[in-house]
Structure 1
């Protein structure tokens, strides 16, 4: 059976759009001509970015979202659909970063990280998937992390949550087979975003030293959030009938300056 092509109009909902990868993704899609709903807790920041995008000719709205609250997630999806039409593409990327040694991390702090990164992403999935299945199409992109493949010390809760994202995406991709809805995970490597910029400096130095000890800090180059946005765009623009389920994006090491390299 032939797959119908993507519709001409594909509204996008970006969770975590107030900064970093989320903001870059919202900007990338808006500039590519997609209607975009920017969602996060910091609505004032979203409104500023949405206004900037609209001034450039894009169709963009800001909607409040707290991924730890079921009702907030459902309301966010409803508001996005009311403003732009049924959501065709969802990017589940809301999150923050807390670090600490596992044996010094409280169960409450551990649960908070899992609730934001993993359960929060699942809440978004549950809020949109019914409509996508009914329409027989849709793309859901989960923002994972390369820590799911290469865990790092000082990040036990974050590693557990992002490993859970990998398992979740693998499971639901199998369950969605034959529905026309695609789910995939994008795993960024080290990316320069606002996440983690408020961490304690002494703890950060200890963490980085442990990463070096285990060979986990190969070089000092970082991706820009726009690199991740480009990867997300590539995933959802695959033609119907093709499914790019996993994409890992890593920062390239510095190129040696010799010859014509």
Structure 2
């Protein structure tokens, strides 16, 4: 006899930061698994475009504006999502923003903004959704972290601090939620090609890459795709009940080296 009832076949899902990048790719991947998805972000037209891709393939997608730094916006979004899709079984927290620069030169407002989006924002979503999961004794919370949390990089402003805080929060939540049936998982991307950070200037990026190289953070030019991270999230939430993927770190595979002279060809 199984120790846990299995997941429902369809699991209503909320994805924050769903207008682009990892959030958008994750919404598409989970919809392809048959889960109805609520897409939340400040950029509603971009979310609608992602939702259309989902609906065109026969999936279920709901769009509503969401600003994770605003508690009223979180309440409105989740209430609308629950009304449309039912009780939320999966939360994927993927909203993100980054401003490059030396931490001591960054304005307090820019520093606090990143903390709000990456740390306080996920907490607002957790505060609204996790009590219902606890009551139902099942649910998956997936926090999109960063390998910066374990290997901070120079000139990342507040990003390192925010993602380190999110990592600590995930550990705390796992202890607090043990035995409730609610699983909290950290999916930790390495360098990923998304829109985040593309508004940076050459004056920002040049010194950043120089420092990264000096400290050993630029071993090769390959980066992950958003779809790679979406596949990791899909794997985490598809893990059968009774087991729990706690941390999943994904790194880009390096370019293949040219075989040494005389070595057999692959």
Shorter-normalised TM-score: what interval? Answer: over 0.9
2: CA distance between counterparts of 1:171 and 1:98? 27
Corresponding residue for residue 234 of structure 2: 233
What's the CA shift string for 1:51-91, capped at 9, x where partnerless? 22112111111111000000111111111111111110010
Corresponding residue for residue 131 of structure 2: 130
**Does residue 221 of the first structure (1) align with residue 190 of the second (2)?**
no
Corresponding residue for residue 112 of structure 2: 111
TM-score (norm 2): 0.96
Corresponding residue for residue 84 of structure 2: 83
Corresponding residue for residue 154 of structure 2: 153
**SS at 2:245 equivalent:** coil
Q: Could you say what the CA RMSD is over the residues aligned between the two structures, in angstroms?
A: 1.0
Does 103-112 or 223-232 show the bigger shift?
Answer: 103-112
**Are the counterparts in 1 of residues 144 and 186 from structure 2 also a CA contact under 8 Å?**
yes
**SS at 2:193 equivalent:** coil
Query: Runs (4+) of structure 1 moved beyond 3 Å?
Result: none
2: CA distance between counterparts of 1:178 and 1:260? 52
Corresponding residue for residue 205 of structure 2: 204
* 1:165 Cα offset (Å): 0.8
**Are the counterparts in 1 of residues 167 and 186 from structure 2 also a CA contact under 8 Å?**
yes
Query: Which consecutive residues of structure 2, in runs of 5 or more, have no partner in the other structure?
Result: none
Corresponding residue for residue 34 of structure 2: 33
Corresponding residue for residue 46 of structure 2: 45
Corresponding residue for residue 143 of structure 1: 144
* 1:135 Cα offset (Å): 0.4
**Are the counterparts in 1 of residues 99 and 157 from structure 2 also a CA contact under 8 Å?**
no
What's the CA shift string for 1:75-131, capped at 9, x where partnerless? 111111111111100100101111111121111111111001110011111110110
**Does residue 172 of the first structure (1) align with residue 173 of the second (2)?**
yes
Corresponding residue for residue 16 of structure 2: 15
**SS at 1:103 equivalent:** coil
1: CA distance between counterparts of 2:196 and 2:211? 20
**SS at 1:156 equivalent:** coil
**SS at 1:80 equivalent:** helix
2: CA distance between counterparts of 1:209 and 1:249? 24
**SS at 2:158 equivalent:** helix
Does 41-50 or 184-193 show the bigger shift?
Answer: 41-50
